[in-house]
Amino acid sequence: MKFTKAAVSGALALAVAIFAGQGACRKKTFDYDARSTIVLGQYASLTGGTADFGKSSNDGLQLALEQINASGGLLGKQVSVTTEDDQSNSDNAVAAVSKLINRDKVSAVIGEVASTRSLSGGGICQSSRIPMLSPASTNPQVTKTGDYIFRICFTDDFQGKICARFAKDQGWKRVAMLTDTANAYSKGLATAFKENFPVDMIVADENFKAEDKNFEAQLNKIKATNPDAIYLPAYYTEVGLIVTQARRAGMTMPFFGGDGWDSPQTQSNPDTVGCFYSDHYSANDPSEATQKFVKAFAKKYGHQPDAMAVLGYDAMGVMAQAIKDAGSADPKAIRDALAKIKNYDGASGQITIDENRNATKSIVILNVTGKPVPDLAKRYDPGE
Amino acid sequence: MGQFAQQLIVGLSVGATYALIALGYTMVYGVLRLINFAHGDVYMVGAVVGFYLARFAVGAGWGVAASLLLIFGGAIVVCVVLGFLIEFLAYRPLRNRPRIVVLITAIGVSLLLENTAQLQWVFGAQPQKYPTAIQLALNARIGSAASGIVVTRLDVLSLGLSLALMGALSWIVLRTRTGLALRAVSYRFDTAMLMGINTNRIISFTFMFGSGLAAVAGCMDGIRYNADPLMGIQYGLKAFIAAVLGGIGSIPGALLGALLIGITETMVKAYVSSSWADAVAFLVLVLILLIKPSGLFGRHEPEKV
């Protein structure tokens, strides 16, 4: 017994020494360019509560990857993306990102869609000095994590501001608001909207909690103020319930909201016809980059891409551009190149990374028509 | 004034659904002294079954009246059977065990139903709307638009159906032999058995009747909102509170408690803030229990050790 114990502890000590040595060694001299392929990582919610978001963005990313490798890869090498499923869970996101960085030694990380998980995973990327590019996290806090964290979508501040602008352009003089007070996304959009819309033209400011199903009390109150339109920054499940209940109460005015509306459920609900929401792109956008992407996506997957798919596609594209610009697969070099991305011609519009590592890009307002793809009502460019 | 009347209609309509669920809690508690935590999920199963039947009926081109009959009838049958099975398989084998064992089993049954419903091939995690044809037919307004007050067919149906079912329940409890037996079991379980009452049959009946009421509430909310595998948690809790508020074990208490919760909630949302709706509803509960610990209609019963 004694002998085995000694042997075990000896082996353990040796193992620890080897791992420690490897760790130290990796920190100083791991050569990302010495590999025969360029290895990138992705963490996404492929299962769990927001699986639709993760699957969509992964579909877009895989399509971009396929195209890049088919045209010869990057820097003369093929590119591989290692994907970890975080099961729509923030703790799992931390574990997934750690695995990608420590086990797979990825040069850069792409992910996540949901802001809360981007915040969790971003902390690890920042402390390991590995650049992270989020395809779709719109919460302003995400890129404030540090100088290695980027995104290719607009922020909620911008989205709320443009919605206010759109309401003014529509000539709506009486706007009511209905906000989900238990949801950071909803509150963020509402705040940005209020900052950019005349106070005296907001006739009602009501709120709800997402677990609620009955919104008739708030809607009746709003109805009494007789608004021209109602700003509803919320996710699609609540949007469907609220708009249907409003129509039942005899309210016919349009609702408008943000990218949380983007779902087949919104398009198929007859009550939302005539409503508007801001989004990342329109499948009806006539631009060449968009149409090329829409066709390729429909050919590979057999259905129209949604906003998450186009953002996954563009995230991979921007990452590839940065690696090309850097001329290296070294994380630091990629980070510096990402910070300098300018006028990248993406499927979701031109992307320029600003000094806060956010994308300045155009935003579209979509009009729900009852068809599977909503109409493009208006486009706003970043300068506006 | 118009605004207040409108909000009152909303409150009554919401409260009526709570009442249907609350009755199930209160009846089971009355005979078994068990809080059946799976009851909220029986309500959910009602909504899910109704959803599939509605899809079938609309797909087959049935009229609205026939569709509704199928939705409610089918959901009631399924839930009645489910209620019987839950009692027979999960609670009956534990009849003589400490109450806490049965309580934990009830939570287990609740989780089983919730997670089974979330399986993709059963229903899936996403809430789903009933077919538009059904919803539109029930959204039709009743009465003149001049007053500005909107009353839909759905409001009338839910209130009418709730009241009719509660009337039927009162009649059964007060006027039939089964009702007499039920009251006897509720009064003294052991003595009732000695008097030759088949207590198992009465308990099964209680579960089946309560589940049938929950099925009606489930279909109603399914049409009004959507079918959602987790809808039983929130509404089950509210209905349970309503039952406690009215005095758990008391049938008129459950009705009154439910209407009180529904109206309070709606009025707070309308005139204070929706963030306060739950807080005030619970505050009412706390106040009433402070003044009358057994609830509005509850009878005081010293804990038997």
Please report the ipTM that was assigned to this predicted complex: 0.85
Q: What is the dihedral of CA A169, A171, A176, A177, to 10 degrees?
A: 0
DSSP states of A289-323: HHHHHHHHHHHHHSS---HHHHHHHHHHHHHHHHH
Cβ pair A217:B273 closer than 8 A: no
Asked if the C-beta of A211 comes within 8 angstroms of chain B's C-beta atoms, the answer is yes
Q: Which residues pair with A379 in a beta bridge?
A: A364
State residue A11's pLDDT score. Answer: 55
Cβ pair B10:A214 closer than 8 A: yes
Lowest mean per-residue pLDDT among A13-22, A151-160, B262-271: A13-22
Cβ-Cβ contacts under 8 Å, A217 against chain B: 7, 10-11, 265-267, 269-270, 274
Question: Using one digit for the tens of pLDDT, what is the confidence trace for B98-111?
Answer: 989 999 999 999 99
Please state, in angstroms and rounded to a whole number, the distance separating the CA atoms of residues A315 and A317. 5
State residue A15's pLDDT score. Answer: 53
- Across the beta sheet with A149-151, what order do the strands follow? A78-85, A37-44, A109-110, A132-134, A149-151
Cβ pair B270:A212 closer than 8 A: no
State residue A81's pLDDT score. Answer: 97
Asked if the C-beta of B275 comes within 8 angstroms of chain A's C-beta atoms, the answer is yes
Looking at CA atoms only, how far is residue A270 from chain B in angstroms?
A: 8
B132, B152, B274: residue with CB nearest A209? B274
pLDDT at residue A250 above 80? yes
Orientation angle between helical segments B132-139 and B153-175, nearest 10 degrees: 90
State residue B221's pLDDT score. Answer: 93
Residue A171 corresponds to which amino acid? Answer: G
Q: How confident is the model at residue A372 (pLDDT cuts 50, 70, 90)?
A: confident
DSSP states of B105-168: HHHHHHHHHHHHHHSTTTT-SS-BPPPHHHHHHHH-EES-STT---EEHHHHHHHHHHHHHHHH
Cβ pair B234:A206 closer than 8 A: no
Q: How confident is the model at residue A47 (pLDDT cuts 50, 70, 90)?
A: confident
Asked if the C-beta of A207 comes within 8 angstroms of chain B's C-beta atoms, the answer is yes
Percent pLDDT > 90 in chain A is: 70
Looking at CA atoms only, how far is residue B200 from chain A in angstroms?
A: 37
Percent pLDDT > 70 in chain A is: 92
State residue A184's pLDDT score. Answer: 79
Question: Using one digit for the tens of pLDDT, what is the confidence trace for B146-174?
Answer: 667 888 888 888 889 988 998 999 999 99
Lowest mean per-residue pLDDT among A103-117, B253-267, B280-294: B280-294
Tell me the average pLDDT across A37-55.
Answer: 88
Question: Using one digit for the tens of pLDDT, what is the confidence trace for B182-241?
Answer: 999 988 888 999 999 999 999 999 999 999 999 999 999 999 999 989 899 888 989 999
Closest residue, chain B, to A181 (C-alpha)? B275
Cβ pair A211:B225 closer than 8 A: no
Return the closest-CA partner of residue A253 out of A283, A277, A222: A222
Q: How confident is the model at residue A2 (pLDDT cuts 50, 70, 90)?
A: very low
Please state, in angstroms and rounded to a whole number, the distance separating the CA atoms of residues B231 and B250. 25
Percent pLDDT > 70 in chain B is: 96
Quote the mean pLDDT of chain B. 90
State residue A127's pLDDT score. Answer: 95
Q: What is the dihedral of CA B94, B98, B101, B102, to 10 degrees?
A: 50
Contact A384, A165 (CB under 8 A): yes
Q: How confident is the model at residue A183 (pLDDT cuts 50, 70, 90)?
A: confident
Closest residue, chain A, to B233 (C-alpha)? A211
Question: Using one digit for the tens of pLDDT, what is the confidence trace for A299-349?
Answer: 999 988 989 999 999 999 999 999 999 999 999 999 999 999 999 999 999
Per the model's pLDDT, the better-predicted residue between B75 and A49 turns out to be: B75
SS3 A96: helix
State residue A25's pLDDT score. Answer: 46
Q: CA A12, A14, A17, A18 torsion: positive or negative? A: negative
